[in-house]
Amino acid sequence: MAKKSTKKKAASKGSKKTSAKGVESQADSAALESLRKKIDRIDKKLVAILNERASCVVEVGEIKRGSDTPIYAPHREAQVLQRALDNNEGPLPDRTIEAVYREMMSGSFALERPLRIGFLGPPGSYSHQASVKQFGSSVEYTDLRLIGSVFDEVRRGHANYGLVPIENSIGGGITETLDALWSNAGKVHVYAEIQIAIHHMFLSDADPKHIRRIHSKPEVFAQCREWLSAQYPDATLCPDASTSQSVMTAIEENKTARSIGADPGSASIASELAGELYGAPILFEGIEDNPDNITRFYVISKERAGRTGDDKTAITFVTEDKHGALVEVLQSFHNAGVNLSHIDKRPSGRENWNYTFYIDANGHRDDPEMKKALKDARVHCKEIQVLGSFPRSTRIL
C-alpha cells in the first residue's frame, strides 16, 4: 500500500509539472472529464429541485391571493435564510449561500405576484444597489428622485415596498429620511432593515494620467478625501446631485472633449453598478478612506412585519416641555429592560428649539417589555409614534 501511495504522489508531482507547462496529462484529462460529468449530473438535479420548490411557491401564491397575506414577509425571509445558513457545512461561504437564496426568493416573488420596488435614484445609486442585493433581479424597480417620493409611492400603493437610506456609519443619520418618517408616521411602516458595505469606485473612460475633473456627491468626496489628496491633488472636484448623475456627466464631458480633438479628462466616483450601467470602466477600486463604511437602509411598507425573536422597533417622539422629560423617556426603556441601539434628533418644524427624537429599540412592538416601555414613556411625551418593528439585520450585504 505504501508503494502505491508513493507512486500516486510521484504521478501527481509529474502531472503538476506537466500541467505547469500548459499541457494537460492523460490522467488529468480523464479525472477532469469524470468530475465535469458529475457536476453536470448534480446541476440537472439542482435545477429539478429548484423548480420543485418553485411549484410549491406557486401554490403558496394562489393561497395568498385569496387573503391579505403579503408576498414579501421579512420575518419569514429571516427564518428561511437563517435555516439555510445553519444547514451550510461548506465549502461554500455563507455569503454565497445567502446570495443564491436571495435571488431564488426574488424569482419566487415574481411567481407569486409581480412586485414593484421604489428606490432613491437614478439607476446605479447605492440605494439601487441595496435594492437589488435585497430583492434580487426578478422584481420590478422604479427610480424616484426624492426620498419623500419613495414614501409617497408606497403610501399610495403605486409601489409595494420602498427602500430609503437611514444612516451612514461615517456621515450619520439621513435627515430627509428622518423627516419623511415623521410626516408619514402611521401611514407607512418600517418593514425591514438592510446593511450594505459602501465601496467607492473611481470610474472613467479616460486615461488616468489625464484626469483633471472629478464628479460626485459632496459626501462622497469627504469619504475619499485622503485618497484624492494623494492621487489627484490638483484635480477640480465637481459636486453633483447624485453619484449616478456624476458618471453620466463625466462620460458626456469626455465625449465632448474627443469630438474637438482634446484629451478627455473627467472621472467620477460612484458604485460599481453605476459603472456597469453607464459604461464607465473602473480605474481604481475601493478608494474610500474607511474600508468599514456601511450604510443602513429601511424597507418601508403599508404592512407590518411579524415577530422573529430578534427584532428592532423604530420609534419617534416629542417630549413634554418640562425639566428632565428626555431622561424620563429614556429611563422608561431602561427600566423595562429594553436596549436602545440608535438615537437621533431633528428640529420638529413646528416650534423653534423643539425637537423630534428618533430611536431604534431592540425588540418587537408586541413584546411585553416593549409595550411597558412605550406605555411608561408616553406619559412624558407630547407625541410618540411606533414607526415599525422589523427583523434586526445581522449581516452586511
Q: Model confidence over 89-101: pLDDT tens digits?
A: 889 988 888 888 8
Give residues with Cβ within 8 angstroms of 169, minimum separation 6: 290, 292, 293, 294, 295, 296
Could you tell me if 246 and 218 lie in one domain?
A: yes
- Inform me whether the pLDDT recorded for 373 exceeds 60: yes
Confidence (pLDDT) at 397: 84
> What's 383's domain CATH number?
3.30.70.260
> What's 216's domain CATH number?
3.40.190.10
Could you tell me if 344 and 378 lie in one domain?
A: yes
Mean pLDDT of 302-318: 94
Of 145 and 336, the one with more pLDDT? 336
Confidence (pLDDT) at 17: 44
Query: How does residue 5 score in pLDDT terms, banded at 50, 70 and 90?
Result: very low
Could you tell me if 325 and 279 lie in one domain?
A: no
Q: Is residue 262 part of a domain?
A: yes
Q: Give the domain range for residue 366.
A: 310-392
CB distance 319 to 329 below 8 Å: yes
Mean pLDDT of 228-243: 95
Give residues with Cβ within 8 angstroms of 111, minimum separation 6: 54, 57, 58, 61
Could you tell me if 231 and 282 lie in one domain?
A: yes
Could you tell me if 318 and 366 lie in one domain?
A: yes
| Unique residue bearing C-alpha cell 445581522 | 394
Listed residue (24, 314, 301, 341) closest to 160, CA to CA: 301
Confidence (pLDDT) at 9: 40
CB distance 274 to 282 below 8 Å: no
Grid coordinates representing 217 are: 456627491
Listed residue (97, 108, 15, 13) closest to 54, CA to CA: 108
Domain boundary among 258, 291, 324: 291
Q: Is residue 341 part of a domain?
A: yes
| Lowest model confidence (mean pLDDT) among 44-48, 241-245, 347-351 | 347-351
Mean pLDDT of 367-393: 96
Confidence (pLDDT) at 11: 42
Q: CB under 8 Å, gap of 24 or more: what pairs does 52-56 form?
A: 53/104, 54/107, 54/108, 54/111
Mean pLDDT of 72-81: 80
Distance from the first to the final alpha carbon of the chain? 49
CB-based burial, 283-292: b 16+ in 10 Å, e otherwise = beebbbeeee
Q: What does the angle CA 106 – CA 193 – CA 172 come to, to the nearest 5 degrees? A: 135
Determine the 3-state secondary structure of 98 from DSSP. Answer: helix
Confidence (pLDDT) at 368: 96
Confidence (pLDDT) at 333: 97
CB distance 21 to 27 below 8 Å: no
Residues in the chain, how many? Answer: 397
Q: How many CB atoms lie within 10 A of CB 62?
A: 10
List 368's β-bridge partners, or say none: none
DSSP for 162-192, please give it.
Answer: EEEEEEETTTEE-HHHHHHHHHTBTTBEEEE
Q: Is residue 66 part of a domain?
A: no
* pLDDT, tens digit, 9 for 90 and up, residues 174-189: 999 999 999 999 999 9
Query: How does residue 8 score in pLDDT terms, banded at 50, 70 and 90?
Result: very low
Domain boundary among 259, 291, 323: 291
Q: Is residue 192 part of a domain?
A: no
Q: Is residue 303 part of a domain?
A: no
- Name the CA radius of gyration of the chain, rounded: 26
343, containing H or E segment? strand 340-347
Q: Is residue 256 part of a domain?
A: yes
Share of the chain above pLDDT 70, in %: 90
Could you tell me if 228 and 285 lie in one domain?
A: yes
Confidence (pLDDT) at 189: 97
Q: Tell me the C-alpha to C-alpha distance, in Å, between residue 28 and each of 1, 9, 20, 90, 214.
A: 22, 14, 12, 25, 51
The domain tally of the chain equals 2
Could you tell me if 347 and 387 lie in one domain?
A: yes
CB distance 164 to 295 below 8 Å: no
Could you tell me if 368 and 321 lie in one domain?
A: yes
List 236's β-bridge partners, or say none: 213
Q: Is residue 386 part of a domain?
A: yes
Could you tell me if 287 and 315 lie in one domain?
A: no
Q: Is residue 79 part of a domain?
A: no
Could you tell me if 314 and 250 lie in one domain?
A: no
Per-residue DSSP letter, 285: S
**Distance from CA of residue 76 to its chain's centroid?**
18
Q: CB under 8 Å, gap of 24 or more: what pairs does 92-97 form?
A: 94/395
Q: How many CB atoms lie within 10 A of CB 332?
A: 20
* pLDDT, tens digit, 9 for 90 and up, residues 267-281: 999 999 999 999 999
Could you tell me if 339 and 381 lie in one domain?
A: yes
Listed residue (343, 330, 325) closest to 382, CA to CA: 325
Question: What pTM did the predictor assign?
Answer: 0.76
Give residues with Cβ within 8 angstroms of 188, minimum separation 6: 151, 154, 155, 162, 300, 301, 302
Could you tell me if 382 and 321 lie in one domain?
A: yes
Domain boundary among 291, 324, 343: 291
